[in-house]
Chains A and B, each alone.
Chain A
Amino acid sequence: MTRRLVLAGVILGLLLPQALMAADLIGDAEKGEVIYRRCSGCHEVGAGADNGIGPELNGIFGRAAASEKHGYAYSKGLKRMGADGLIWEFATLDAYIENPKALVSGTRMNFPGLKNPQDRADVLAYLRSFSDMPQNIPESSPTAFAPEVTLPPEVLAIVGDRDYGEYLASECLTCHQTDGDNDGIPAIIGWPTEDFVIAMHAYKRQIRPHPVMQMMATRLSDEEIAAVAAYFATLQ
């Protein structure tokens, strides 16, 4: 196997949320009801559900992000995603509850995430029972990847050729400012490399909806994403 292939495997295997890799687990709604207790401190679901710390989750499948009907005050980050066209379905929900901040930067959902894919599938099966969409049929999953090698994340910093990263990054600087100002386009400097890579892959896999960023990310190979991430991580 060439170095490039190994590295691609490392990046995908190590850093992508599981949701971006395989989303074809079948959930068990009964088990999910138990897991849902991790959510219920903040969320209500079912008849008469109201907004609490978090929005009510009735009919969440097929609902646009940040579009709850009773006037919940969403964060700017989630509202942006909603305006971009993010729809809650299996793959997007799975990514969000695995690592809320990786899917939606600046979301106010302070929840560390459910790392176990089966737990996520179960809790989503439970939530689906409060949605109109047919139960327990996962939407078509994004392309599945088999994780290959596991290496420590520091490897990434070495992988990213800084010169190449700098050249690739120059394309980003037409919109994203090096001093980190946000005048309508978010700042991307000083992010942890891992979050950056995840965000870029979420655009590449079309899980984050924004068309400009989908185009930008789609033309970058996994190695190139690592190189850009490594470069931006060095800007403060």
Chain B
Amino acid sequence: MTLNRRAFIGAGLATSALLAAPTVWAQAKPRVVVIGGGAGGATAARYLAKDSKGALDVTLVEANPIYTTCFFSNLYLGGFRAFESLQHGYDGIAAGGVTVINAMATGVDRAARTVTLAGGEVLAYDRLVLSPGIDFKDGSVPGWSADAAEIMPHAYKAGPQTQLLKAQIAAMPQGGTFAMIAPPNPYRCPPGPYERISMVAHVLKTSNPTAKILLIDPKDKYSKQALFEEGWERHYPGMIERVGPEFGGDKVEVRPATMEIVVDGTVQKVDVCNVIPGQMAGKIAGIAGVTDDKGWAPVHADSMKSKMDANVFILGDASAQGDMPKSGYSANSQAKVAVMAIRGELTGSKVFPAKYSNTCWSLIAPDDGVKVGAAYEPTPEKIASTSNFISKPGEDAALRKQTYEESIGWYAGITSDMFG
């Protein structure tokens, strides 16, 4: 038998444990701390523990005891999913050998290789994985701030915000106006705002058929645009008006106190206003000092390792990696590559070439699902797309229904892959 690192550590443990204090235990196994138990972090923690079979000491730090998926939260708004069906706990991950700590991480000292929690505890690490998702950029929509989210919800981190938005839609007066301020690039889930518009239209079509939907968009074009526009025309004719940058969609201000929006100088009163602000990496990435001037954390394409610190890996929305969209699927895919790289470094396990992929499904109307996806590989500069596919306008109903059914299969698949 060859003496691998694991056997060696085991032997070292046995002897030193006789001699010394229990701290030797803590230091004997390489320690990986994961901050953020979402699509990237939950997958990473679970796979680190599972694949290393006890050779790594894995700790997951997550602010909330229950994770509410953003994915399918639009379907909840549309009445296709119960809120509870979006919620997942961490018992399965803990049962897989991960130490789960429900706390906010407030500090990272990269020189000392420690993480500080809100309660003051300090965790030491050999490798740190950051998957904190996004935070909103201050001042991105004039007049809106985090405090205004109780009046004009973002609902772009799923949870009470999503429930609030749904309640507001239900309470709209007949013939009222729902407005969405769509975000500038880059942001999480490129088709997300447009799937949301579809779901809101679906609800209003029956509950409030004379209502109007106003989509204020700073972007020239957006993900799956042809598919959404065709679908809106077919299912919700005349209901949705999009104001792009050519009509001032990029010059918008909101007034939460009076429920007004000002588009290119014109004031308009609305009944619900969903503000999805500009985004950046979750704040802890900035605190750790691994973000660039745009607010995202650059990584090496073959491993998701930070370009600024060889002991830090950044996954999911927070990372700046190249062509992959910021999606739950991408974060899950990236986690598997990072886990392999980390295990390779800490336990000597085999490291295979990185492969990434993504698929984003969107629901336009009942049984009318569409998808877009791509495969990716690392190049020296970035994660680059190697092939892709997208649903086509005019597909028949059977295929659209099947695509929707697949998305349900995907949700079941990815959540069981994340949470065990």
Contact = CB atoms under 8 A, between A and B. Distances in A.
A228 to B, nearest CB: 11
A184 B409 contact: yes
B386 interface: yes
Contact of B412 (A83, A84, A183, A212): A183
A175 interface: yes
Interface of A: 79-80, 82-85, 163-164, 166-168, 170-171, 173-179, 181-185, 211-212, 214-216, 218-219
Contacts of B414: 174-175
A84 B402 contact: yes
B303 interface: no
B384 interface: no
A174 B373 contact: no
State the majority secondary structure of interface residues on A. helix
Given A84-B399, A84-B402, A211 B417 contact: no
Contact of A215 (B373, B401, B411): B373
Contacts of B51: 166
Interface in B33-56: 47, 51
A181 B408 CA distance: 12
B340 A185 contact: no
A177 B409 CA distance: 9
B194 to A, nearest CB: 21
A170 B413 contact: no
A181 B340 CA distance: 26
23 contacts: A80-B402, A83-B398, A85-B399, A163-B349, A171-B336, A174-B333, A175-B410, A175-B413, A175-B414, A177-B413, A181-B412, A183-B408, A183-B409, A183-B412, A184-B405, A184-B412, A185-B409, A211-B373, A212-B359, A212-B373, A212-B389, A215-B387, A219-B355
Contacts of B386: 219
B86 to A, nearest CB: 15
Contacts of B405: 184
Residue picked from A84, A177, A179, A182, most chain B C-beta under 10 Å: A177
B410 A184 contact: yes
Given A183-B412, A212-B389, A212-B406, 6 more contacts: A83-B399, A168-B352, A171-B357, A174-B414, A182-B409, A215-B387
Nearest to B396: A83
A218 B411 CA distance: 24
Given A174-B410, A215-B375, A218-B387, A179 B47 contact: no
A174 B375 contact: no
A170 B47 contact: yes
B378 to A, nearest CB: 13
A31 B274 CA distance: 69
B398 A171 contact: no
A135 B398 CA distance: 31
Contacts of B349: 163
A103 B416 CA distance: 28
B73 interface: no
Nearest to B349: A163
